[in-house]
């Protein structure tokens, strides 16, 4: 039997604010445990939340990016459950009046575009971090209270690959909106994954299972592959899927049911009495809408138009906002945007991939890349030298013009100096020269190679060719 897979995601995104959602403690990863805490985020007796307006703005901004309805009235609710990472044993979240309703994200590049509908986006507070020791667990509340935006999709993805593509597209939007650092290693984006399967043709969705807190997109992809196959196998054996929370183990590549809870969740939501509702005026929402950044697709078209680069290149460059930003910064300073794009598409992306570095922190600056392009464009250096310099700049930074000057790497374009070397090479290889003169075109390559060798690579190959032809013509 053929099965259809239905996947829905709940994506938790830590927002890019300086301070926490409901208190003034700093949001920072890597601090000593329990040093970014106060009575509010520790759930002390008497402490009360005060709402970070920037977190509200960033959430609404995200909603506007994906076409959510912002209806103006929103409120916060308490969601009760006991867990050691929960300072108050209730989480301040949003139940029935989230900040953003609906919306959609387009996935699939160029060819077949597909829409994943967004159910809602709400704002809540992150929980603490637990560490497990041999006989006990430790709790660090530094993360507790970090503004966390939860984006809930409809079950519109029908393969693990679609879910993966959705996450990439969403991350791209979040980067463009500049609402999150989007650093997966630091847990800025974490997913709860709901998956079910149903026989082809069946209307109703199958029984779903949930995997919580997956913090890599690859993890989501792999967990979904394994889980959807598991569910299909269970159904094929005539078994039943249990609605349960399962755990993905990236090391073994298996999913397993978690120890079942004693009682079903009963979150006992009720309006947070300590926080007043948010009522956004239409004028304010419109002002925020007007301040939205360019969406990736719009930027792609603009790069083609403004910089004269191919559509394919533009698509690659806008995929990551930071890469696009880098390109534009360099292209503005360089004489030839296409050459900048070539460097980005080849050397830059290759080295970024190999070294797993972030373009925002690489030592080579957009200005240095532009200068390098100038040097090749003016034929001061040849392409091999340029590649070497790029690699060096990528690792250590610096000014390409200074490097060329200091090491005397400049291409020699002085006809008389090169002429002497050409004559020397002809003299040493008179038979090959004769072959060339007699029409053996390939023979020129050898002579040119000899000239390049003698000039330690600095001769301008085009000039060498010109001079060699002059010798042939001259007699």
Partner 1 sequence: MSEKQAQTGGIDVRYVANLARLALTEEEIATFQGQLSQIVEYVQAIDRLDVTGIEPTSHALPRYNVFRADEVRPSLDRDTVLRNAPSSRDGQFIVPKIVE
Partner 2 sequence: MKLNLSTLTVSDALAHMASGDFKSIDLVEALGAAIAVRDGELGAYVSVDLAGARAEAEAADRARAAGKAGRLCGIPIAIKDVLNVRGQPCTCASKILDGYVAPYDATAIARLRAEGAVFLGRTNMDEFAMGGSTENSAIKRTRNPRALDRVPGGSSGGSAAAVAGGLALAALGTDTGGSIRQPAAFCGCVGLKPSYGRVSRYGLTAFASSLDQIGPMTRTVRDAALLQEVLSGADPMDATCVETPVPPYAAQLTEDLRGMTLGVPAEYVVEGMDPAVAQAVQHAVERCRDLGARIVEVKLPHTMFAIATYYIIGTAEASANLARFDGVRYGLRATGATDPLDMYKRTRAAGFGPEVKRRIILGTYVLSSGYHDAYYLKAQKVRTLIRRDFEQAFASCDALLTPCTPTPAFRMGEKTQDPLQMYLGDIFTVTANLAGICGLSVPCGVAPGGLPIGLQILGPAMKEENILRVGHAYEVARGDQWLG
Under the rule (CB under 8 A), what is the footprint of partner 1? 17-19, 23-26, 32-39, 42, 50-56, 75, 82, 84, 89, 130-133, 135-141, 247, 258-259, 262-263, 266, 268, 270-271, 273, 275-280
Of the pair 39, 449, the CB lying nearest partner 1 is at 39
CA distance 168 to 449: 47
Q: What minimum distance in Å lies between the beta carbon of 294 and partner 1? A: 24
Given the complex with partner 2, which of 50 and 131 has the nearer CB atom?
50
Residue 43 interface partner, choices partner 1, partner 2, none, CB cut-off 5-8 Å depending on type: partner 2
Least Cβ distance, residue 86 to partner 2 (angstroms): 9
Smallest gap from Cβ 259 to partner 2, in A, equals: 10
Residue 47, contacted partner among partner 1, partner 2, none, CB below 5-8 A by kind: partner 2
Name residue, tokens 């053929």.
2
Which CB atom, from 137 or from 396, has the smaller least distance to partner 2?
137
**Closer of 39 and 308 to partner 2 (Cβ):** 39
Instruction: Name the minimum Å distance from CB 15 to partner 2.
Output: 19
Alpha helices, H only, 237-292: 282-290
Q: What are the residues binding partner 2 (CB under 8 A)? A: 39, 42-51, 78, 80, 82-84, 87-90, 137, 139, 141, 262, 266, 268-270, 273-276
What distance lies between CA 173 and its chain's CA centroid?
Answer: 10
Could you tell me which residues are beta bridge partners of residue 315? none
Task: Name the residue nearer to partner 1 (CB basis): 85 or 401.
Answer: 85
| Partner that binds at residue 312, options partner 2, partner 1, none, CB closer than 5 to 8 Å by kind | none
With tokens 């094929």, the residue in question is 236
Pick between residue 135 and residue 442 the one whose CB is nearest to partner 1.
Answer: 135
What does the DSSP 8-state code read for residue 459?
B
353 binds, among partner 1, partner 2, none (CB under 5 to 8 A by kind): none
What does each C-alpha distance from 378 to 219, 371, 387, 410, 411 come to in angstroms?
A: 48, 11, 15, 11, 10
Task: Write 315-318 long-range contacts (CB < 8 A, 24+).
Answer: 315/109, 315/110, 316/345, 316/349, 317/341, 317/344, 317/345
**Nearest approach, Cβ of 8 to partner 2 (angstroms)?**
22
Residues 234/240, Cβ–Cβ less than 8 Å:
yes
Range 155-159, long-range pairs (CB < 8 A, 24+ positions): 155/6, 155/7, 155/8, 155/194, 155/196, 155/205, 155/208, 156/8, 156/115, 156/116, 156/117, 157/6, 157/7, 157/8, 157/9, 157/116, 158/4, 158/5, 158/6, 158/7, 159/5, 159/7
Q: Which does 87 bind (CB under 5 to 8 A by kind): partner 1, partner 2, none?
A: partner 2
Q: Taking each helix axis from N to C terminus, what angle separates 53-65 and 282-290, rounded to the nearest 10 degrees?
A: 70
How far apart are CB 48 and partner 2 at their closest, in Å?
5
Non-local CB neighbours of 333 within 8 Å, separated by 6+ positions: 366, 367, 370, 371
Nearer to partner 1, 270 or 312 (CB): 270
Q: Choosing among partner 1, partner 2, none, which partner's interface includes residue 133 (Cβ < 5 to 8 Å by kind)? A: partner 1
CA–CA dist 120, 94 (Å, integer) = 10
Over its C-alpha atoms, the chain yields an Rg (Å, rounded) of 30
383 binds, among partner 2, partner 1, none (CB under 5 to 8 A by kind): none
Minimum CB–partner distance for residue 85 and partner 2 (Å): 10
Query: For partner 2, which is the closer residue by CB, 48 or 257?
Result: 48
Measured from the CB of residue 63, what is the shortest distance to partner 2 in angstroms?
23
């Amino acid at each position: 039997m053929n099965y259809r897979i239905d996947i829905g995601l709940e994506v938790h995104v830590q927002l890019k604010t300086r301070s926490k959602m409901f208190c003034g403690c700093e949001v920072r990863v890597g601090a000593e445990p329990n040093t970014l805490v106060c009575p509010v985020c520790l759930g002390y007796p008497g402490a009360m939340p005060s709402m970070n307006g920037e977190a509200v703005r960033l959430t609404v901004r995200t909603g506007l990016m994906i076409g959510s309805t912002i209806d103006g009235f929103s409120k916060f609710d308490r969601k009760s459950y006991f867990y050691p990472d929960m300072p108050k044993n209730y989480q301040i979240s949003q139940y029935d009046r989230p900040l953003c309703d609906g919306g959609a994200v387009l996935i699939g590049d160029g060819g077949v575009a597909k829409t994943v509908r967004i159910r809602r986006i709400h704002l809540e507070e992150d929980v603490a971090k637990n560490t497990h020791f041999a006989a006990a667990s430790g709790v660090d509340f530094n993360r507790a209270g970090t503004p966390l935006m939860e984006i809930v999709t409809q079950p519109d993805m029908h393969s693990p690959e679609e879910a993966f593509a959705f996450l990439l597209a969403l991350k791209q939007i979040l980067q463009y909106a500049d609402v999150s650092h989007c650093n997966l290693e630091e847990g800025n984006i974490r997913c709860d994954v709901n998956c079910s399967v149903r026989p082809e043709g069946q209307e109703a969705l199958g029984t779903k299972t949930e995997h919580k807190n997956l913090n890599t997109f690859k993890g989501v992809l792999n967990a979904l592959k394994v889980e959807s196959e598991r569910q299909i196998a269970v159904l094929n054996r005539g078994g039943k899927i249990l609605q349960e929370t399962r755990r993905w183990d990236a090391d073994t590549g298996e999913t397993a049911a978690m120890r079942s809870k004693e009682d079903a969740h009963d979150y006992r939501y009720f309006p947070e009495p300590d926080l007043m509702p948010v009522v956004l005026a239409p004028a304010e929402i419109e002002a925020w809408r007007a301040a939205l950044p360019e969406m990736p697709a719009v930027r792609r078209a603009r790069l083609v138009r403004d910089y004269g680069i191919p559509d394919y290149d533009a698509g690659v460059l806008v995929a990551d906002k930071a890469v696009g930003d880098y390109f534009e910064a360099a292209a503005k300073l360089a004489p030839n945007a296409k050459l900048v794009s070539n460097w980005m598409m080849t050397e830059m992306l290759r080295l970024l991939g190999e070294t797993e570095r972030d373009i925002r922190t690489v030592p080579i600056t957009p200005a240095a890349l532009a200068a390098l392009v100038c040097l090749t464009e003016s034929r001061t250096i040849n392409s091999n030298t340029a590649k070497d310099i790029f690699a060096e700049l990528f690792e250590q930074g610096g000014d390409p013009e200074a490097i060329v000057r200091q090491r005397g790497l400049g291409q020699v374009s002085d006809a008389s100096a090169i002429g002497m070397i050409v004559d020397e090479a002809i003299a040493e290889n008179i038979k090959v020269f004769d072959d060339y003169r007699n029409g053996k075109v390939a023979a020129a390559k050898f002579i040119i190679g000899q000239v390049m060798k003698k000039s330690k690579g600095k001769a301008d190959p085009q000039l060498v060719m010109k001079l060699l032809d002059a010798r042939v013509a001259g007699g």
